Amino acid sequence: MPKGTIALEEAVLEPGGIPRVARDAALFAPGADMAKHPLTAKLQDIHGERLRQMDAEGVEYMLLSLTSPGPQGEADPAAAATIASETNTWLAGEARKNPARFGALASISMHDPGAAAAELRRAVAELGCKGAILNDYQTVAAEGGGEGKVYYDGDEFRVFWKEVEALEVPVYMHPRYRTAPDLDPETGGEYSTRRHLLGAAVQFHLDLSFHLYALLSCGMLDMFPGVQLVAGHLGEGIPFNLWRASHWYNQPVKKATRPSKYDYEHYFKHNVSITTSGFYSTSGLKYCINEIGAARCMYAIDYPYDTIQEAQNWWKEIDLPAEQKEAVARSNAIKLFKLPLAL
């Protein structure tokens, strides 16, 4: 196929994975039978209609990943590890069927940081995955029952980030729906009576930007400066707040006690790339290019939650300088993910 766009945040669902996504699906499709839902068919198709649309619309390559929440949604450590290992083996196998058009991102259970590092190593070194995807925080069993959240800025996760740096692969940070306690009126969760705020419109970028700020400022990137993160949806809004976040983080009262050496702007410009997944705003992308540089911006669709046609129609008409347009559409992704494509 001639050179086209490279799409980096494109979801799939493995055979047998429907029950795992049913709870989240009920939030946007109440009462739907997900076994028969059109979205499920699109998630579970790789080499059929998906590829035909790619050919028709000019998408050269897709980097595939297990749809959210993946192992992050499983509170049981053993079950989460099984989801990760089995789906990584399956998805890498699917990508190998057509390596000129598809690659895979590894799913990782984050219950045990050492085991997470080992699974990432297996997925990259043995299976050929191009990096990892983490769907925000890890759901864990809370004391006294229920579910809790674990973020990855703690010291216990240094072993994982050390492996990320050693393998020289990016980690794509992706959003997810809230856990059950946040949706239960009896527990007083903030979304229990505000379900219209759940999902891509509001909740996703609020939650994931918090996690990203935590990762950028915890000191991890001072220890492992080679770590590269990717944030979709134009960086989950962070580029638009980057000046203010850094301005206040650099105030003397903050600077004297903060756990990181540098400010948010420094880490975002050295350790984070963003994609256009589900955010087809020309003015927004131009702002991000001006703020963090074209070399840190890449193309993505967010299929099947958004359509290939809509994304490609936008991209074909976007008025960027030719060099920037090529970099965002192709070459930045090839370099960062070490894709088997010609520049």
Supply the CATH number for residue 190's domain: 3.20.20.140
CA distance 27 to 155: 34
Q: 331: domain range? A: 5-337
Q: Which pair of tokens denotes residue 207?
A: 């939650």
b/e map 210-245, b = 16+ CB within 10 Å: ebbbbbbbbebbeebeebbbbbbbbbbbbbeebeeb
Count of domains forming the chain = 1
pLDDT tens column, 51-86:
999 999 999 999 999 999 999 999 999 999 999 999
Answer whether residue 342 is part of any domain: no
The predicted structure's pLDDT at residue 28: 66
pLDDT at 189: 83
What confidence tier does 190 reach under pLDDT thresholds 50, 70, 90?
confident
Beta bridge partners of residue 104, listed in sequence order: 64
Indicate which residues carry an active-site annotation.
302
Q: Is 216 within a domain?
A: yes
Provide the angle, in degrees to the nearest 10, between the axes of the packed helices 158-167 and 113-125. 10
- Asked whether residue 136 is domain-assigned, the answer is yes
> Which positions ≥6 away from 217 have C-beta within 8 Å?
153, 249, 258, 259, 260, 264, 267
What is the helix, strand, coil percentage profile of the chain, to 5?
Answer: 50, 15, 35
Q: Is pLDDT of 146 > 90?
A: no
The answer to whether residue 114 is domain-embedded is yes
User: Looking at residue 251, what is its pLDDT?
Assistant: 96
pLDDT digits (tens, 9 = 90+) for 147-183: 999 999 999 999 999 999 999 999 999 999 998 888 8
